[in-house]
């Protein structure tokens, strides 16, 4: 029954995430884990849906002037190879679920314990570059292993470091998610962990949600308006996955 509801749920997830420049990987992955989908297909499917939603988001944010290519390339230097490496790893179901619940807990902490971005940190250009390399490697690895693009962490950190405004960070984050989702997906596709029968029913709904959400995010909605809704989805998923592990 829950599996049958996934297309509808994913439409709303894509709408919410795309409105803040994200792909929705954290919620896609969580919902598929709750539904009991084969754990080897979860990251592959999530990365594919990330590609679709963030492609729509990139176009909308680019048209609105919020994609800053000069900001994103230092993050991609390390994230691309680590996303590919993460996708190539063979993890057991237990290890995958533990990595997933740790990542989702970090997402919830980011939303509820760090609700505003009023504090900013001044770094030299050299230190900013070092932070970008380190953060890119961590988020790239997460993208490849559990199917979460990492934009939900990247966007607020870019704002915190004074690299971009909220809108520019959201647009740049969409590019980051797309590229790393592609790298992780290529690696997993080469391993044969891809099922078109699972992807196709979900792809159409996330495209529709992404089109609506990215338009609203680029031209109307403030990014923080959807953060707590995303947090509720993540917390519910943590509870379900935690019960399976314990």
Instruction: Tokens for 80, please give them.
Output: 């691309």
Q: Does the pLDDT of residue 66 top 80, yes or no?
A: no
CA triple 50-86-158, angle to 5 deg: 60
Average pLDDT score over residue span 78-101: 89
Q: Does the pLDDT of residue 215 top 70, yes or no?
A: yes
User: So what's the pLDDT on residue 6?
Assistant: 85
Instruction: Tokens for 5, please give them.
Output: 């509801």
Buried b (16+ CB within 10 A) or exposed e, 124-151: eeeebeebbeebbbebbbbbbbbbbbbb
CA triple 198-200-204, angle to 5 deg: 135
Q: Does the pLDDT of residue 2 top 70, yes or no?
A: no
Average pLDDT score over residue span 236-244: 81
User: So what's the pLDDT on residue 164?
Assistant: 72
At 164-180, the pLDDT tens digits run 777 788 778 888 888 88
Instruction: Tokens for 65, please give them.
Output: 């002037």
Buried b (16+ CB within 10 A) or exposed e, 212-226: bbbbbbbeeeebeeb
At 112-161, the pLDDT tens digits run 776 555 555 666 777 778 888 898 999 999 888 888 877 778 877 777 77
Q: What is the mean pLDDT of the chain?
A: 80
């Amino acid at each position: 029954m829950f599996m049958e509801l996934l297309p509808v749920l994913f439409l709303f997830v894509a709408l919410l995430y795309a409105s803040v420049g994200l792909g929705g990987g954290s919620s896609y992955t969580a919902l598929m884990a709750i539904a009991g989908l084969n754990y080897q297909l979860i990251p592959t499917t999530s990365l594919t849906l990330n590609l679709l939603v963030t492609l729509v988001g990139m176009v909308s944010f680019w048209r609105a002037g919020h994609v800053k290519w000069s900001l994103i390339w230092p993050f991609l230097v390390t994230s691309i190879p680590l996303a590919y490496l993460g996708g190539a790893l063979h993890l057991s179901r237990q290890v995958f679920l533990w990595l997933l619940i740790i990542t989702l807990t970090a997402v919830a902490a980011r939303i509820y314990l760090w609700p505003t971005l009023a504090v900013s940190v001044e770094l030299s250009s050299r230190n900013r570059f070092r932070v970008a390399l380190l953060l890119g490697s961590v988020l790239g690895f997460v993208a490849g292993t559990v199917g979460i693009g990492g934009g939900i962490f990247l966007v607020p950190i870019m704002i915190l470091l004074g690299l971009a405004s909220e809108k520019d960070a959201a647009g740049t984050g969409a590019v980051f998610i797309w590229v790393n989702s592609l790298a992780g997906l290529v690696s997993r596709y080469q391993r044969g962990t891809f099922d078109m029968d699972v992807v196709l029913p979900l792809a159409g709904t996330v495209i529709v949600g992404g089109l609506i959400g990215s338009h609203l995010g680029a031209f109307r909605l403030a990014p923080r308006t959807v953060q707590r809704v995303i947090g509720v989805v993540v917390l519910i998923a943590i509870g379900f996955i935690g019960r399976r592990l314990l």
